[in-house]
Structure 1
Amino acid sequence: MADIPGAPPVPLSHLTRAQDRISFLYLEHCVIHRDANAITAQDQRGTVHIPAATISTLLLGPGTTVSQQAIVLLAESGATAVWVGEHGVRYYAHGRTLTRSSRLLEVQAVLVSTDSSRLRVARHMYAMRFPGEDTSGLSMQQLRGREGARVRRLYRENAERTGVAWKRRDYSPDDFAGGTLVNQALSAANTCLYGAAHAAIVALGCAPGLGFVHTGHIRSFVFDIADLYKAELTIPVAFDIAAAGYADIGAETRRAFRDRLRGNNFMDRCVRDIRNLLNPEDAGTEDTDITADIVQLWDYDGTPLPSGTSYEDEL
């Protein structure tokens, strides 16, 4: 039998774990190619080699030209390739999962499909944002109200800390420059956070669209997970950048957000939190089936059956 044309994919067992990767890398105004198992970014200053398997999210900004082989490598390495518009506001695409197991995806689908289990996960999410508070008996309306008051307080506290004038969160995805400086910075920082959270979700094989607090959007679960970290990451960074008065708010915010993530093991924390939310008993363990390319058949008694087998005798 003839060999399948093209470069063979990188074995999953050789890839860097999601929690050990760089949260995101932003590139703009460059040509991106592939050299072995690295992607290259070239502009008038020279060429940089970047190991594809060390990246969680590659944000491709304006002026980037990407070769087919570079995108193939990113997808096979489990990296999330994101095409973003001017100032990094829009989000367009992602790569493939780092695991072939659907275990967490099936757990997620079960939990989101009934009101009681969905509320339980939502309460868990809010409990992570309200340390020391008991959320076990709160309804969704009460949780939303408490979160709204908390976010308004955070905006007010950061405004007072930095001296930045603040009215409200007000922005348009179609008019980045139309917002105030702090709203521009918040949009840019949130885009980077959404990309990193999306990368972790996809790497674990979960569904970005099956959210517990958010719903009806292809990235509902991304927004759920990102909201866990905004108070600590994006809001302080945005107010700091707005207070500094930089000319290029988008670029400076991305760099400041990158520095905030550096050294705090964000991807490790994000992966651990997702596992803890969906399957607390499995939160501290590694995926033993990450490289197992096994397809099984569903049976009504709950015991999976091997595929590739004739079951004619069962008739």
Structure 2
Amino acid sequence: MILLGPGSTVSHDALRLLAHARTALAAVGEDGVRLYTAPPLIPDRSGLARRQAMVWADAGTKIQIARRMYAMRLGEFLPHRDINVLRGIEGARMKQSYAIWADRIGIEWHGRKYDRGDPLAANLANQALNHAASAVEAAAAIAVSATGTIPQLGFIHEDPGQSFVLDIADLYRDEITIPVAFKAAKQIEEKPSENIERVTRRRLGRAIADENLIPNMIERIKELFKPEEDTA
């Protein structure tokens, strides 16, 4: 997949050659931190999408995939088989994670607050979290597109049209989204003349490259849909 950044142009011949080479072209934001559009890849194999659909349609295997996702995030395979219980445990762990990272980086933290109608009303840390989360979701959207999996079929998120994208993005909340956002907020505290959105997206763009984030997401998607093993 070629990621086409702002200000780029592409010729008819280039599109023809890309199609011949089965190479996708996606329009992305600066540093690849937004995904604006990408055509369906129509990969040579549909195995991952078929496996995703099969496990999603069965209540037992669906909760098993959710448990796998929580194990990737929390470092342990939780025994619970009720999605609401798992969400509650994850929510409590996230509160701890926010507090730990805030203390580690040296910023004030009074909880996650976000008003969709007035996002700029949030403090610097919460604004940075919003921008960082959007960028990680864009990376996840690229990974989902590249694997040919189905964005609507999520295992933890259920209602949004990008439910599976949100599931994948959340796998990186503790290791990338929170630390990048809080470091950006700290930078703005020290240099108030800088812009919180620009600083956050720049930092996240570097993290996407340094951590090989999109290839890592692709491998995790493949791992999620491996044939089920017997886990307690």
Q: Which amino acid in 2 is paired with 1:212? A: F
Label 1:172 to 1:98 Cα distance change in 2 as closer, same or farther (>3 A): farther
Match of 1:272 in 2: 219
Q: Secondary structure at the match of 2:9?
A: strand
Aligned counterpart, 1:175 = 118
2-structure distance, mates of 1:25, 1:191: 18
Alignment-mate amino acid for residue 113 of structure 1? A
Partner of 1:34: 10
Contact 1:171 1:183 in 2 (8 A): yes
CA distance in 2, matches of 1:280, 1:116: 14
- 18, 27, 30: which one pairs with 1:81? 27
2-structure distance, mates of 1:108, 1:237: 31
Equivalent position to 2:72, from 102, 107, 128: 128
Identify the match of residue 59 of structure 2 among 115, 133, 137: 115
Q: Post-superposition shift, 1:206?
A: 0.7
1:150-169 equivalent positions in 2, closer than 5 A: 150-169=93-112
Give matches, 1:13-92, under 5 Å.
27=6, 31-34=7-10, 77-81=23-27
* 2:86 corresponding residue in structure 1: 143
Equivalent in the alignment of 1:290: none
SS at match of 2:10: strand
Relative distance call for 1:99 and 1:83 in structure 2 (3 A) is: same
Work out the CA distance in 2 between the residues paired with 1:25 and 1:168. Answer: 37
Asked if the contact 1:212/1:221 (under 8 Å) is kept, the reply is yes
Shift in Å at residue 212 of structure 1? 0.5
1:159-204: CA deviation from partner (whole Å, max 9, x where unpaired): 2122322222222344332221111111111111111111111111
Change (3 A) 1:230 1:186: same
The TM-score, its normalising length taken from structure 1, stands at 0.62
Distance (whole Å) between structure 2 residues aligned to residue 100 and residue 81 of structure 1:
22
Unaligned runs of 5+ in 2: none
Greater RCO (Cα-Cα under 8 Å, separation 6 or more):
2
User: Does the alignment pair 1:106 with 2:50?
Assistant: yes
Higher strand share: 1
| Cα deviations by residue, 1:25-49 (Å, 9 ceiling, x for unpaired) | 763xxx43125887xxxxxxxxxxx
Q: Give 1:207's aligned residue.
A: 150
Which of 220, 235, 247 lines up with 2:178 in the alignment?
A: 235
Once the two structures are superposed, residues 208-256 of structure 1 have per-residue CA deviations (whole angstroms, 9 ceiling, x without a partner) of 1100010011100001011101100010011111111152111111111
Gaps of 5+ in 1: 1-15, 39-68, 282-315
User: Aligned AA for 2:201?
Assistant: R
Kindly report the root-mean-square deviation, in angstroms, between the aligned alpha carbons of the 2 structures: 2.9
Aligned length: 219
In the alignment, the residues of structure 2 paired with residue 37 and residue 184 of structure 1 have an alpha-carbon distance, to the nearest angstrom, of 42
With the length of structure 2 as denominator, give the TM-score of the two structures: 0.82
Alignment check: 8 A CA contact 1:121 1:212 kept = yes
Contact 2:120 2:127 in 1 (8 A): yes
Letter in structure 1 aligned against 2:8: I
Kept in 1: contact 2:27–2:38 (CA 8 A): yes
Identity %: 34
